[in-house]
Amino acid sequence: MSDGRWKCPTCKIEMQVRGRKLTIFMVGMQFPKHKGCELGKDIDHIDFSKLEKIG
Amino acid sequence: MPTTEELLEKLLELGRLEFWLDTSKYVSAMTEIGQASLDMGMWSITLAAGDSIEISFTNPSGYVWVPHYEGLRVSTGNVFEVSLIRDGKVFLYMPGVVDMDYYWSLISPYTGIIETTADLQITNNSAATEWIVGGYIGRYLTTERYRVFKEMFREAALKYDPMRPLYE
């Protein structure tokens, strides 16, 4: 499954996935930081192959 | 009877106080001397039916975040449950969000300041996929200036409390 900690290689923002619950860790308020960021999508549409698994 | 000079000094003091206590004036002025920086933008979230998300924001080191304006727009009213937690305390809980605007600078200056961290918890209670977006205008103010401000705010609250003669 996709459970674990992920990082967007472009904006370096990290995300924790537990089941269908997402937690995003940001510095600053803007979210998502760039157009097309996988972290800005709902869990059914996130392409995890575009993210780095870090934990 | 106060002299003209004393009255003028008093007027100046009140003028300075009004400047200090108005977020839009004071924090904007701090931007000009490098003690604050403008931060405006938006966040956007799409959630499938029944899903929830938590976004944990951290300020850049050495800064507090002072809001001027925050607004929310939703795809469908009354389906999102939102909690705004600031520095570990629940700042705002909304069981069913509709489109809203908060002009913090006007409503209550220095309300909603984020000293270090904020958490945004959102649940979509709809049977369909929905979106929620937020817009904001605020400023990062240096922690040092913020400490000075807080002390002055407290002193002004005591000094200019109209009920003061009753309890002194």
Question: Per-residue pLDDT tens for B112-143?
Answer: 999 999 999 999 999 999 999 999 999 999 99
Q: Over range B67-88, report the average pLDDT.
A: 96
**From the centroid of its chain, how far is CA B53?**
23
* CA nearest neighbour of A6 among A32, A38, A42, A29: A38
Q: Which of B48, B54, B60 sits opposite A27 (nearest CB)?
A: B60
The answer to whether A31 and B118 have CB atoms below 8 angstroms apart is no
A21 shares contact with chain B (CB less than 8 Å): yes
Interface contact flag, B53 A44, Cβ < 8 Å? no
Model confidence at A1, pLDDT cuts 50, 70, 90, reads: low
Q: Over range B87-92, report the average pLDDT.
A: 95
Q: Which residues of chain A are within 8 Å of residue B50 when distances are taken between CB atoms?
A: 20
Interface contact flag, B58 A40, Cβ < 8 Å? no
ipTM of the prediction: 0.87
pLDDT exceeds cutoff 90 at A22 = yes
pLDDT exceeds cutoff 90 at A20 = yes
Query: pLDDT above 90 covers what percent of chain A?
Result: 87
Q: Which residues of chain B are within 8 Å of residue A14 when distances are taken between CB atoms?
A: none
Q: Over range B69-94, report the average pLDDT.
A: 96
Q: Is A28 left (phi over 0), alpha (psi -120 to 50) or beta?
A: left
Model confidence at B58, pLDDT cuts 50, 70, 90, reads: very high
Interface contact flag, B53 A21, Cβ < 8 Å? yes
Q: Which two tokens stand for residue B44?
A: 């956007």
Q: Over range B58-83, report the average pLDDT.
A: 96
Q: Which residues of chain A are within 8 Å of residue B58 when distances are taken between CB atoms?
A: 25-27
The answer to whether B95 and B139 have CB atoms below 8 angstroms apart is no
